[in-house]
Amino acid sequence: MEHREVVVIGAGPAGAVAAALLKRQGHDVLMLERQQFPRFSIGESLLAHCLEFVEEAGMLPAVQAAGFQVKNGAAFACGDRYTYFDFRDKFTPGPGTTFQVQRAHFDKVLADDAARQGVEVRYLQEVTAADFGGDGPLLDVRGADGASYQVKARFVLDASGYGRVLARLLDLERPSSMPPRKAIFTHIEDRIDDPGFDREKILISVHPEQRGIWYWLIPFSNGRCSFGVVGGENLFGGPGEDLMATLRAMADAAPNLKRILKNAVWDTPANTIGGYSASVQRLHGPGYALLGNAAEFLDPVFSSGVTIALRSSKLAADALHRQLTGAQVDWQAEFADPLMVGVETFRAYVQGWYSGEFQDVVFYEHAQPEIRRMISSILAGYAWDPTNPFVASPQRRLRTLSELCRGAEAQPASA
Ligand code: FAD
């Protein structure tokens, strides 16, 4: 049996960053990944805050050298209305730009960099069983040749994303607070010639008649875009449905997208993903902690997934380093509670998006610049900044602001 100090399950962003942070502190780290990289993943628009963790993990030069599309904000459209938030104009200090990335490439850059820093990365290795009952975590791993072996670790970080390895094996699953939704998506050669289109921002468009349906358009640096639509679980994507036909019909239903994408070449089969919102009863236990999507995933609308994942990696790596060097660690106080501050902030704005309240705020044209800077901070990923009133009490602030916006919009023009 193999003995290791830390085993990380999954080599996505959460796993690679946690592994590198621990390696940089001098720990022995083995990262086991079920697939061969590069592999496709959804989740292509990053937030500015997540680059702070990429940098701390020593990976920023590699990411900067990879040639990804620079992103400096988020634009929103609904019918004739268009607005944007520039991440460089925000309340919380920190990076104001980030990247829009093909995840197959981005995730490989991070995993390769973790390996460069000394993490042992093994591909085509699937963790199939976990035992936390004995004198230390014991994992069963199925290797590329189909043969299984066991690894004993002092600690396991589960960064298996939608694989949800420990949530499944340890029966930690808990229903998400989010109703089930579904996305259909593809990559296109966009051929966008609209002078008003800003390639340095994700464009979120709202369906002109149904506010619960929205679209993402994420430009890459190679003349291509990721394009997708999100709606209720039963709205589209039924068995046998022509996903590409549905996606294109949905695009045509939004006049701004129909115009922007008029020359697009739809050269890649559409795909669908549903039931992606997930939660767990607890984020840690004796000998393990859950990172990124292996723990909780809310909703794609604010591109918060990778940022929450990397924040969880940073918190876990710090706590684990202390534990491995002899300190008594309170994982709830040092890892779970601080992580959930930002998760709950995003949850409030995601719920506000679908209730329509946050859409009112986003599209309100006369908001005070300072308020817009506070919202810009959250959209840039700074959802853990307690000095931002929209982080400190998100529901209350959002409700008050949305009432103000609705009231102001209802006033006659002369008022
Ligand atoms: P992942 O990136 O999923 O990595 C997990 C890895 O674990 C995988 O490589 C997998 O192969 C491996 N694994 C799984 N099981 C095992 C096993 N048994 N043994 C070994 N390895 C295993 N986020 C954003 O930040 N921006 C966006 O624009 C965005 N858009 C999204 C759109 C949609 C429709 C959805 C559903 C999500 C979106 N997300 C977005 C969320 C984003 O996809 C995730 O939050 C992010 O990928 C989580 O990273 P991770 O490292 O936790 O997991």
**Measured distance between the N- and C-terminal CA atoms of the chain, rounded to whole angstroms:** 77
Tokens of 390: 């929209």
Give me the pLDDT at residue 13, please: 98
- In sequence order, which residues have a C-beta less than 8 Å from that of residue 232 and are 6 or more positions away? 179, 180, 181, 182, 212, 213
Q: What CA–CA distance (Å, rounded) separates 180 from 167? A: 19
Give me the pLDDT at residue 415, please: 33
Q: How far is the CA of 294 from the centre of ligand 1 (A)?
A: 8
Give me the pLDDT at residue 413, please: 45
Give me the pLDDT at residue 412, please: 53
Nearest to 360 by CA among 218, 217, 211, 255: 211
Q: How far is the CA of 281 from the centre of ligand 1 (A)?
A: 20
Give me the pLDDT at residue 405, please: 84
The residue whose CB lies within 8 Å of the most ligand 1 atoms, and thus the one to mutate among 170, 303, 310, is: 303
Q: Are 290 and 158 within 8 A, CB to CB?
A: yes
Q: Which domains are assigned to the chain?
A: 2-70+99-175+277-343 (3.50.50.60), 181-274 (3.30.9.100), 352-410 (no CATH)
Q: How far is the CA of 306 from the centre of ligand 1 (A)?
A: 8
Tokens of 293: 């999507």
pLDDT digits (tens, 9 = 90+) for 186-197: 999 999 999 999
Rounded mean pLDDT of 89-114?
98
Quick check: ipTM above 0.90?
Answer: yes
Q: How confident is the model at residue 286 (pLDDT cuts 50, 70, 90)?
A: very high
Rounded mean pLDDT of 124-146?
96
Q: What CA–CA distance (Å, rounded) separates 335 from 327? A: 14
- In sequence order, which residues have a C-beta less than 8 Å from that of residue 280 and are 6 or more positions away? 167, 172, 173, 174, 290, 295, 296
Q: How confident is the model at residue 184 (pLDDT cuts 50, 70, 90)?
A: very high
Tokens of 400: 């008050």
| Per-residue buried b or exposed e for 203-233, using 16+ beta carbons within 10 Å of the residue's own CB | bbbbbeeeebbbbbbbbbeeebbbbbbbbee
Give me the pLDDT at residue 70, please: 98
Tokens of 223: 């003349």
Q: How confident is the model at residue 240 (pLDDT cuts 50, 70, 90)?
A: confident
Backbone φ and ψ of 153, nearest 5°:
-130, 160
Task: Report which ligand 1 atom has the smallest distance to the Cα of 32.
Answer: 20
Q: Are 82 and 75 within 8 A, CB to CB?
A: yes
Q: How confident is the model at residue 237 (pLDDT cuts 50, 70, 90)?
A: low
Helix runs in 220-336, H state only: 243-253, 255-260, 305-324, 331
Task: Report which ligand 1 atom has the smallest distance to the Cα of 45.
Answer: 28
- Share of the chain residues as helix, strand and coil, in percent rounded to the nearest 5: 35, 25, 40
Nearest to 218 by CA among 232, 209, 228, 231: 228
Strand-pair partners of 272: 184
Ramachandran sector of residue 108 (left: φ over 0; alpha: ψ -120 to 50; beta: rest): alpha
Give the chain's length.
415
Q: Give the β-pairing of 279-280 and 126-131.
A: unpaired
The residue whose CB lies within 8 Å of the most ligand 1 atoms, and thus the one to mutate among 306, 312, 346, is: 306
Q: What CA–CA distance (Å, rounded) separates 255 from 249? A: 11
Tokens of 22: 């621990």
Mean pLDDT of the chain: 95
Determine how many CB atoms are found less than 10 A away from the CB of residue 1: 7
Give me the pLDDT at residue 285, please: 97
Q: How far is the CA of 305 from the centre of ligand 1 (A)?
A: 8
Rounded mean pLDDT of 217-234?
95
Tokens of 17: 């960053």
Rounded mean pLDDT of 75-87?
96
Determine how many CB atoms are found less than 10 A away from the CB of residue 386: 8
pLDDT digits (tens, 9 = 90+) for 14-69: 999 999 999 999 999 999 999 999 999 999 999 999 999 999 999 999 999 999 99
Tokens of 79: 């019918």
Please tell me which residue, 153 or 401, carries the higher pLDDT value: 153
Q: Are 214 and 229 within 8 A, CB to CB?
A: yes
Q: What CA–CA distance (Å, rounded) separates 280 from 294? A: 9
Q: Are 41 and 340 within 8 A, CB to CB?
A: no
Q: Are 319 and 6 within 8 A, CB to CB?
A: no
Nearest to 310 by CA among 33, 4, 17, 12: 17
Task: Please name the residue whose Cα sits nearest to atom 35 of ligand 1.
Answer: 300
Over its C-alpha atoms, the chain yields an Rg (Å, rounded) of 22
pLDDT digits (tens, 9 = 90+) for 358-386: 999 999 988 899 999 999 999 999 999 99
